[in-house]
Structure 1
Amino acid sequence: MIKHWSQYSLTTKVLVGMVAGLATGVLTRTFLSENVFVSQYVTDGLFHIIGQIFISSLKMLVVPLIFTSIVCGTSSLSDASTLGRLGFKTLALYLFTTAVAITLAIVSALIVKPGVGANLEAVSSFSAKEAPAISEVLIHLFPDNPIEAMASGNTLQIIVFAVLFGIAIGAAGDSGDKIARLFDALNDVMMKLVALLMNVAPYGVFCLMAKLFTTIELSAIVSLAKYFTLLLCVLLIHALVTYCSLLKIFTGLSPRTFLSKMDDAAMFAFSTASSNATIPVTMETVTYRFGVSNRIASFTIPLGSTINMDGTAIMQGVATVFIAQAFGIELTISDYLSVILTATLASIGTAGVPGVGMVMLAMVLKQVGLPLEGIALVMGVDRLLDMVRTAVNITGDCAVTCIVAKSEGAMDVDVFYDPEAGVKEETIDFHHIR
């Protein structure tokens, strides 16, 4: 018996949209690339407009969702010292996984040698932006204008202000209780907005994938096949081995169950290539499918989307070795140790900087004396790999959130193992809002 479209799960709908968009993009590029009408009104018109509206809608939810959920979680804490312990655990885990990621990448690249014999020459130059100093980043954690921080989408500043605001609400007695109830209501409304957007998500994903695969240069992937394949394999190993091992060791939870419930968030991360844009879906996943308390998820997920750069760290490790080999430059053990340290610290030091992946790679290449023009060698395939990197980063955010929540006794294990938990998405009846 054939199901009606509305009876399929969100995961199935998004997967169908993704595959259909990919096929549409490839077919359009193959058979209609010279058709001006299709290019102007379909690819750069309809697909581009709907895809960008979808991305903008996701980003629209990020700032109010982060602010309301962190305020709700922080104001409910009975002991403010809990926040310090929570922050230390989260930050330590994110930095540890990043260090493991880049170490794994460098070791794999040294074994496989993707750049040996390539003898490639950069066809374009790359102008690197200056990464901010660590002292500057620490100063800018604290907003001098919280409204401006929200308007510009500065995630770390929003987190700091929301935490301080939440603590103040908890300390304000009866007046604080009134404000806390208001934010609880606002948080419920924000989750309803997320549910509303999920109803149109498959169509947005279809348009994003259709537009993307009419522009990806497949010839670039072929010319860099060894680099592309190695980086893809290391990303998958990190997601399937590193994260799952940490989850099993620190929580005893089933990695199989964890991965099976990651599908929605991973697919959204892959299709949008943006950790920030995926925050609403990631928070919904860890809260409703994994059973993590909102007071934990509201802190770890936004922080992870900003500083958890495991996928980017893996790219830096593989790209550094690849570029060195392609240009015939020998790197010493101390150089590789320097790469590991620089990339790990840079995952915090470059938070919030546009083009963070290329900024971090430029920092690493400068550190070990490799030519910055080497970045141009890998830029041709970076867009597709960036989608995979984002999915890996999101998986890391969820794994760390589960570990921290379990250690704080803020996770419902029954929900985690319930295969039906969070599966049925909330539908919006636009004919009967109330």
Structure 2
Amino acid sequence: MDTKIFTGNFFENYLSLTHYQTLFAIAALLISFYIIKKLQDKKVSFSLRMFAGLGMGIVLGLGIQCLTGFQKEPLIWMQETATWYGLFGRIFISFIRMLVIPLVFVSIVKVIIDFSGQKDLPKIAFRGIFWLLFTTGIACIIGILLGNIFSLGYTHNTLPIELKGREMTNLVDTFVNLVPSNIVSAMNTENIIGLVIFSALIGLGANRMEKKNPEAIGLFKKLIEGLYKIVMSVTMTIIKYMPYAVIALLSKTIISNGIPAIMEVSGFVLSVYIAAILMLLIHVLLVSLHGISPLLFVKKSVEVWLMGFTSRSSVGTLPLTIATLTERMGVSSGTANLIGSLGSTMGMNGCAGFFPALIAIMVAHMIGIPMDAQFYIMLVIVVVIGSIGVAGIPGTATIAATIVLSGMGLGEYFPLIGMVLAIDPIIDMPRTMANVSGSLTSAVIVDKETGNMNMNIFNDPDVILKD
């Protein structure tokens, strides 16, 4: 039965608003937004708002599908509804992508200049960075393997998209091309690795010139600090609206794709949980190779793992991470504070390791890009280097995925991961657990390597945290 209430080119093609069902669907979305706003006004935690958005997105999407008897082909009013729902999701994604360049630049410069003047800590810092990035590289490889094992994003109807522009490049040229000849062009084309290299050089240059020009470099550091706070403030403001985007993205995907979309994303969820478990096992293996009891390490790490899993915040877990390292594992205060802090802002095994790798593999499958050894090597490099430029805030994984897709030349296909972003609360828990476990592992290994670890404390199974 035709239920059109508006006709004509203006309503059909410009407004995408011709049926009364579309109006009701838009009204339902706005009501959902109102509920999220009330929860926000009542200071309900971000995690609970995300879960609420997840639930409402599922209800909206399945409710609209149910009204049509779960038809395989969406009706016209469903297509219109998906278009309007896409407005909010696409705007959010655009805002996230807009922040990538400034966030990476100020984050990398700040990380470099923060090491200035810490003469007694460089050895610990560089070892810590190595282990954080090394475990992130392992996490990336796990993501690549699982993404291919589960064939994420792959369907038999997948067709190559614009592959003729992707010419084969040898390994030497690949590494040469990492260094940008024009930084403005690199920013414009979202050459993230080039931006990271440039940002690191700026930070190193500032540290070298500090003694000769303390006043000018002091002003520069204050400028970077101010820019960092401003960019982080803008980022947090945008991330605050992620629950709204979750409703729109999830419901739009279900409306457009139906139940198969949910079944497809279930493979991604399973991959994330398996990747997190594998990373915990690798962390335990690494500490055992350094002569540390794996059983005691697990026993003393469980509380931090659970805190990360439930809080979904590496930064929020940081106080417990540092306290556990110093009081229960015998790690020196300097190592625990430095590497614990670094681990909550860079080299995060979950959010910046296996998650963006899974995303990249999924998108490559979706658009039909052939993946060879060069693709995988490049992906590991992009993931590891890109993990330095993320921050330990809610939405970190989304930013990391954006950085990696842009670094792989797939930035334009970011909207394809809308369904994954929509179920973010479900997969953020194991990601964060892997993050904090990576911080614990790196700190313990570094302190053991440098001989600063108090093994008497670590080997005491009954030691507890102080009140």
Query: RMSD value over aligned CA atoms?
Result: 4.8
Secondary structure of the residue aligned to 1:254 is: helix
1:170 aligns with 2:207: yes
The count of residues paired between Structure 1 and Structure 2 equals 332
The answer to whether the 8 Å contact 1:133/1:349 transfers is: no
Please give the secondary structure, in 2, of the residue aligned with 1:142.
coil
Residue 137 of structure 2: aligned partner:
95
CA contact (8 A) 1:25 1:212 kept: yes
Aligned twin of 2:229: 188
Contact 2:143–2:357 under 8 Å retained in 1: yes
Alignment of 1:135-146 (within 5 A): 135-146=172-183
Q: Which has the higher contact order (CA 8 A, sep 6+)?
A: 1
Consecutive unaligned residues in structure 2, runs of 5 or more: 1-35, 288-296, 320-338, 366-370, 383-403, 448-463
| In structure 2, C-alpha distance between the alignment counterparts of 1:57 and 1:302, rounded to whole Å | 25
Change (3 A) 1:311 1:402: farther
From the superposition, tell whether residues 349 and 290 of structure 1 become closer, same or farther in structure 2 (CA, over 3 Å): closer
1-side partners of 2:408 and 2:167: how far apart?
Answer: 10
Partner residue, 1:18: 54
Which secondary structure state, in structure 2, belongs to the residue aligned with residue 126 of structure 1? coil
The equivalent of 2:243 in structure 1 is 202
Q: Give the letter for the 1:142 counterpart.
A: V
Gaps of 5+ in 1: 115-120, 266-284, 320-338, 359-380, 410-416, 419-434
1:261 aligns with one of 283, 298, 308: 308
Change over 3 Å in CA distance of 1:394–1:388 after alignment to 2: farther
The answer as to 2:65 corresponding to 1:29 is: yes
Give the aligned partner of residue 92 of structure 2.
54
* CA deviation profile, 1:213-265 (whole Å, cap 9, x unmatched): 1122435877xx8xx877754442221x2222345566746355335435676
After superposition, residues 28-427 of structure 1 pair within 5 angstroms as 28-31=64-67, 36-37=76-77, 39-40=79-80, 42-45=81-84, 47-78=85-116, 85=127, 88-100=130-142, 122-123=156-157, 125-126=159-160, 128=163, 129-130=166-167, 132-173=169-210, 174=214, 175-219=216-260, 233-239=270-276, 241-247=277-283, 252=297, 254-255=301-302, 257-258=304-305, 260-262=307-309, 285-290=313-318, 298-300=345-347, 305=352, 310-311=357-358, 345-348=377-380, 352-355=407-410, 399-400=437-438, 403-404=441-442
Residues in 2 aligned to 1:159 and 1:245: alpha-carbon distance in whole angstroms:
31
Distance change >3 Å, CA 221–CA 64, structure 1 → 2: closer
Write the distance in 2 (CA, Å) between the matches of 1:255 and 1:340. Answer: 38
TM-score by length of 1: 0.60
Q: Which one-letter code corresponds to 1:160 in the other structure?
A: I
Partners of 1:309 and 1:393 within 8 A in 2: no
What is the CA–CA distance in structure 2 between the aligned matches of 1:231 and 1:158, rounded to whole Å? 30
2: CA distance between counterparts of 1:200 and 1:312?
A: 22
Q: Which has the larger radius of gyration?
A: 2
Offset of residue 203 of structure 1: 1.2
1:136–1:242 distance in 2 versus 1, CA, 3 Å: same
